[in-house]
Chain A
């Protein structure tokens, strides 16, 4: 269970990215986060795993308030929250295998991982994760040799390595073509349904939201403007979220 209470983020230059945002995500939900570019979706996701420090508010996760944990405890929180990025954020020059194994860093001792020694179980797990996203044969390739869709699957495999209870997906398909987008969303849905991992996914296209999301929250200029079922977003709601001049294209 993730509970966000009155979350506010003000950047150093005074930009208010999030304004008093509160919502709840029950375990196992596929939550879609929508809103225009710059509405605060990325900031919201990054506040949850503390890549960005929230200015005010509380984030309760499994009954721990995690907005101020530090050091070892923060690492313990982060390793249970997987993250998938719009630009995949793989290490281009490393092999696919090494990229996937890096998902395990929160569990492995510093010295062993610096020497590149991962336990046998982790290697097995990495192959299994790659298998699951269908690119086991690419394990020894360099990450930048893969196509965009394959790179995002590596990103998913990396997140799976963390044994996550929550996956934050920051516009995971925004840099992919529609066919690939559905393939990637399918993987996320599968992980959500089969493993019961909570997914919190920011999306641009409403058809994706309606196809994959269990629940939707919408942000506009940092404020939560809508919360409900995907099917509840009718034209009036749409204009509320995206502004009067917006036209639905998907």
Chain B
């Protein structure tokens, strides 16, 4: 009964409470919006200011008349005389030419400034605009436009204007009545070609679309591995013993250093050998023959239930040998390519960009390969390290396991902490770097040695979730900063221009696509993963056979969608120095060339809308 009563009380008090809550919400909203309007300076005064309205009207009217074409214009001028001031001989107020143009000026003199003059005439081109100019006596260069006019359907002119403050003279002063009209050209419209603005727009809009393409391509390539590593369903079950994790760290370091150094050494050697192009080509051919021979006479054993350790090692050596030789050939070709590209560039004419591309690729290989090979070997090292670390722990008894764990953890932990310390030191340039690198890594080594010896060596640590969480957080941070901000940083590094834009968009694309991809991986059907795992497949095999086929179509769809977004971004990224159409658009706006700016805005709209349409069509087809 007691509870019933309480319930009743609750029900009774509720309407009042609700009313109070609603009232409070209203007050809160009132205060919020009042403050928001104040802060954002929304007001009615500025928009009603006549001066601002006039300027705005001018801008809008200019925007409405995009500068698309160059016209063929014909001109015809007629001179009349006027006296300023009204002194001396009157020159007559009627003027006529043999082609039928007549003009009357009333009055035909202006005594003071600000006098109104009326000019009437006939025999002009019908419906034609023109300008009336004043020429000072004796000086034909210093003209001044007095007014513009438009003739009626019969070619009559009737225009009054106020005489501005003009230098008086004893001589009669000349007024020029000039008509301008379009004739000839395309279908009689007078159009004889596209304006300079159109030419720049076409060039820059292509740059914009290609900028987006580059950013999307590179971003996609890098986002794919990120997408898998940031997928919870793939990562959450990955647990490894401490020894495996930290031997992975050791393997990463050794692999990176090895890859980096071997590659640099191979590059040096390749560079020396290709000093003479002919020798270089000869060596490359010989190496190719060797690779062919190795492939032919020592065919790979792919399977087999029992394969001895020796056979496996030989197989590995063979693969390594071929990879190194192949890379060496590529390196030699790269050094020759740099020379080739430079020599071709002069002779290819408009296709010189192809020669520059050869140089670019070759230079790319020589510059990037140490890092890429370092990372690759680092990853292989990490994978081998963790595998053998795990196997070592699983195959040995607990005591040996403890000792292995202790030693490996101490070394791996020290390397890890030293790496973080070194990175911090690079960033902040500490006075005593060893306080941030050596000492902490020694401390970490001791702690991990103790932990490794004390803890159960077979205990699994959720390294998968650690990587997942770290990667997800990083993606969220990178994604929350707009490309417009990145472009400012990159413009400092590589200069203002489309390259900075490409880098900025690439960074953002990696983060955005990485997240989309990982969510896609998380939403796949688990059945095939279960089935492939049950066959005894390794993790990599499971991903390749059960996950990849499921995510290919959505990945392609997301990539197209991202290209769409990148085109949109790249139209504005030029505002901050990222090249593309935005760069010239903002220039034109700053120079008050609104008719030219209008052309660019229209082109952006056209490109964005058509790409939007195109990509949605393709996406529909794929899914």
Contacts and interface: CB of A to CB of B under 8 A. Distances in A.
Contacts of B549: 91-94
Interface stretch (B104-112, B439-447, B477-485, B527-535): B527-535
B528 A75 contact: no
Contacts of A110: 538, 540-541
B591 interface: no
B90 interface: no
A83 B534 contact: yes
A93 to B, nearest CB: 5
Interface in B275-322: 300, 302-305, 319
B228 to A, nearest CB: 13
A162 B303 CA distance: 13
Contacts of A87: 527
A179 B85 CA distance: 115
Q: Which size class do A's interface residues fall under?
A: 35 or more
Interface stretch (A2-10, A31-39, A66-74): A66-74
B531 A78 contact: no
B390 A106 contact: no
A90 interface: yes
A164 to B, nearest CB: 10
A108 B538 CA distance: 10
A112 B542 CA distance: 14
A117 B394 CA distance: 31
Contacts of B533: 51, 78
Contacts of A69: 394
A87 B528 CA distance: 10
A71 B387 contact: yes
B302 A106 contact: no
B181 interface: no
A94 B546 CA distance: 9
Contacts of B538: 75, 105, 110
B534 A109 contact: no
A158 interface: yes
Interface string A52-81: 000000000000000001111101111111
Q: Which size class do B's interface residues fall under?
A: 20 to 34
B537 interface: yes
A103 interface: yes
Contact of A102 (B387, B527, B535): B535
B550 interface: yes
A107 interface: yes
A107 B391 contact: no
B201 to A, nearest CB: 43
B302 A91 contact: no
Contacts of B390: 70-71
A71 B550 contact: no
A199 B532 CA distance: 19
Nearest to A103: B535
Contacts of B15: none
Interface string B538-575: 10111011100110110000000000000000000000
For chain B, what secondary structure do more than half of its interface residues adopt (helix, strand, loop), or is it mixed?
A: helix
A113 interface: yes
> Looking at A73, A82, A89, A118, which has the most chain B CB atoms within 10 Å of its CB?
A89
Given A71-B387, A94-B549, A113-B544, A89 B530 contact: yes
Given A93-B550, A105-B545, A114-B540, A122 B303 contact: yes
Contacts of B387: 71-72
Nearest to A111: B319
Contacts of B303: 104, 107-109, 112, 118-119, 121-122
B545 A91 contact: yes
Contacts of B319: 111
A78 B534 contact: yes
Contacts of A77: 536
Interface in A124-182: 155, 158, 161-162, 168
Contacts of B546: 91, 102
A25 B303 CA distance: 31
> Looking at A72, A78, A105, which has the most chain B CB atoms within 10 Å of its CB?
A105
Given A85-B531, A93-B549, A158-B535, A117 B391 contact: no
B527 A162 contact: no
A250 B549 CA distance: 39
B537 A106 contact: yes
Contacts of B304: 107, 119
B300 A112 contact: yes
A112 B550 contact: no
A117 B300 CA distance: 11
A102 B534 contact: no
Contacts of A71: 387, 390-391, 394
A162 B531 contact: no
List 7 tightest A-B contacts by C-beta distance, closest first: A106-B536, A79-B536, A89-B527, A105-B537, A89-B531, A78-B536, A83-B534
Interface of B: 300, 302-305, 319, 387, 390-391, 394, 527-528, 530-538, 540-542, 544-546, 549-550, 552-553
30 contacts: A51-B533, A69-B394, A76-B536, A78-B534, A81-B534, A82-B535, A83-B534, A89-B527, A89-B530, A89-B531, A91-B528, A92-B549, A93-B550, A94-B549, A102-B532, A102-B545, A105-B536, A105-B537, A105-B545, A106-B535, A106-B536, A107-B303, A109-B302, A110-B538, A110-B541, A113-B537, A118-B303, A119-B304, A161-B535, A162-B536
Given A82-B534, A121-B303, 18 more contacts: A51-B530, A71-B387, A71-B394, A85-B531, A88-B527, A89-B531, A91-B528, A93-B550, A102-B535, A102-B545, A105-B545, A106-B535, A107-B305, A108-B302, A111-B319, A113-B541, A118-B303, A168-B534
